[in-house]
Amino acid sequence: MEFNRKDPAMTRMLASSTALVLSLSATGALADVTPEQVWESWQALYAAGGQQITVGSATRNGDTLEVSGLVVTHKDELGGTYAVSIDRLDFSDKGDGTVAITMSETLPMQLAFPETDDGPSSIKLTISQPGAVITAGGTVEATRYDFDAPTVSITLDEVKDEDGKALDTAATMVMTEARGSYLMSRSDETVALDSNFTIKSMALDLAGSSPETSGKGTFKISIADLKGATRGNFLGPEIMANMAKALNSGFSTDSTFSFGPMSIDLDVTDSNGPVKMAGTATGGGFVLGVDKTRVNYGTSLTGANFSLSGPDIPFPELTFGFGETAFNVLMPASKSDTPQDFAFLAKLVDLTVSEDVWGLFDPAATLSREPATFILDTRGTGRWLADIMDPAFQSTGTEPPGQLNSLDLTQFLVKAAGAQVAATGGLTFDNNDLQTFQGMPAPSGQINVSITGVQKLIDNLIAMGLLPDDQAMGARMMLGMFTRPGSAPDEVTSLLEFKDGGFFANGQRLQ
């Protein structure tokens, strides 16, 4: 196998193994006050998740229900399968209304992928969790499950390609001090979950080589202080196949995840030469919220610094970093007769690149090297005219599936090379007037714009030979038409207004 940054086998292996571990952990979340009830609840949850189980035996031995030869299998809609084997699973009555759950320290897993997939045909893994402590208690209706695992490791035992040939690939993931709890409440059709977890550290090591191409490489990532929480109502797979139906039936989830210091290290050698990348970050995370009223998704990363070298880079090493990057989107999830809230945020704060990059087009250091920033923060109201989550939904392209009612520009900021553009404002839209602005709902409102340092930037670009004089003159004329002098040197401002069926800049009607 050729090990490189575009290798689908490595990506698929990592994603699949992680997803299956999480699936197995979640499956263990049901518990009750007696060993038999715990075991029955487990089996019911497996079935609700579309999984099949086979059991060698389940016998009562004193205060312990001993289950042996347990195999959990699942087949997805694309034909992929996985199987998890648990030699021994004990449910022990502690005598205080709780149940202690212990299982084999090692759990083998097997994954098989559809033949049409671009990646491995099968993967074998081993999960090891020595000293794991699991305690379950509560009632049949509301069950709490607490776990404490000093160390959890996942080892890649075998990867085969589409021809069934074993690949020279190795991988190990190790997590330390994994702790958490689940509170499960079951009804006939739903499972309510309230969970949280912490992991002190996680480290992943990948390595592989290809005898055919002499390519080889390693990838390492370590993350500290992982934390997560999930609350929601979960339904059976039949209902979840139609998201619109699931939302109307009560499906919801709110999840948060965060992590602390992170480092990554990539070292790959192929026919073109060696490629190396290293990076660190101080933290990050993501949020996901879904229910009948909204979908909310966001990610963030802070304090990041990266270095990259390789044969395609025209200097010894490329370095770059940023103070913060974030993305967040909030939008309505279902068809509605009334406007619903939405929001969009994209930001990249304090971006810096190495002097070698600047030197490619500005060797004389004419431009300011100050960190660059881009922020777009908007919110507003709108509504869907159709259920876009319904698999039967198809957009015609001629009739928009939604309406925009209002838009607030909370912050717009672009700052780079000594210049800055900032804007704030708000607009409302008349969806009954599609003629004034040629098919667009007629807007009303204003946007305030401030621009600083742009004249100096134009002068610098002319001096560098990157901006011809005639184009510079055109840019200055446009600024003169739409702006007026501000209070500071090299500052211009503009008030953009939509009113009376027209578009105005600083009181001058432009449409």
Distance in angstroms (rounded) separating the CA atoms of residues 489 and 477: 18
Q: What is the pLDDT of residues 45-69, one digit of tens each?
A: 777 677 899 999 999 999 999 999 9
At 117, is the pLDDT very low, low, confident or very high (cuts 50, 70, 90)?
A: low
Q: Tell which wins on pLDDT, 29 or 258.
A: 258
Please give the Cα distance from 151 to 156 (Å, whole number). 17
Residue 482 has pLDDT above 60, yes or no: yes
Place 396 in a pLDDT band, splitting at 50, 70 and 90.
low
pLDDT at 397: 61
Smallest Cα–Cα separation from 253: which of 304, 308, 294? 294
pLDDT digits (tens, 9 = 90+) for 336-364: 999 999 999 999 999 999 999 999 888 99
Is the Cβ–Cβ distance between 410 and 448 less than 8 Å? no
Decide which of 344 and 401 is more confident.
344
- The number of beta carbons lying within 10 Å of the beta carbon of residue 244 is 19
Q: Which of 19-28, 36-45, 198-207, 495-504 has the lowest mean pLDDT?
A: 19-28
390 pLDDT band, cuts 50/70/90, is confident
Contact 300, 324 (CB under 8 A): yes
pLDDT value at 402 more than 60: yes
Mean pLDDT of the region 422-429: 96
- Nearest-angstrom CA–CA distance, 40 and 44: 6
* Residues sharing a CB contact under 8 Å with residue 202, sequence separation 6 or more, in sequence order: 173, 174, 175, 176, 222, 223, 224, 226
Q: Is the pLDDT of residue 423 over 80?
A: yes
Which residue has tokens 């347990």? 70
Q: What's the pLDDT score for residue 4? A: 41
Q: Are 184 and 145 in contact (CB under 8 A)?
A: yes
- Of the candidates 142, 189, 148, the one whose C-alpha atom is nearest the C-alpha of residue 31 is 142
Alpha-carbon gap, residue 133 to 181, rounded angstroms: 12
Task: Name the band, by pLDDT with cuts 50, 70 and 90, for residue 118.
Answer: low
pLDDT for 289 equals 96
Secondary structure (3-state) at 320: strand
- Output Rg (C-alpha) for the chain, integer angstroms: 29
The pLDDT of residue 24 is 40
pLDDT band at 238 (very low <50, low <70, confident <90, very high): confident
Residue 133, pLDDT score:
85
Angle at 380 between CA 374 and CA 384, to 5 degrees: 120
* Confidence (pLDDT) at 18: 37
Q: Residue 408's pLDDT is what?
A: 98
Question: DSSP states of 6-63 as a string?
Answer: T-HHHHHHHHHHHHHHHHHHHHTT---SSHHHHHHHHHHHHHHTT-EEE-SEEEEETT
| Structure token digits, residue 219 | 């990838």
Integer Cα distance of 44 and 228 in angstroms? 26
**Which uninterrupted H or E stretch holds 126?**
strand 122-128
Backbone φ and ψ of 214, nearest 5°: 65, 20
- In the predicted structure, residue 9 carries a pLDDT above the cut 60: no
CB atoms within 10 A of CB 366: 16
Instruction: Read off the pTM.
Output: 0.84
Mean pLDDT computed over 102-124: 86
Local confidence band at 395 (pLDDT 50, 70, 90 cut-offs): low
Residue 289 has phi, psi (to 5 degrees) of: -135, 130
Three-state SS for 358? Answer: helix
Q: How confident is the model at residue 79 (pLDDT cuts 50, 70, 90)?
A: confident
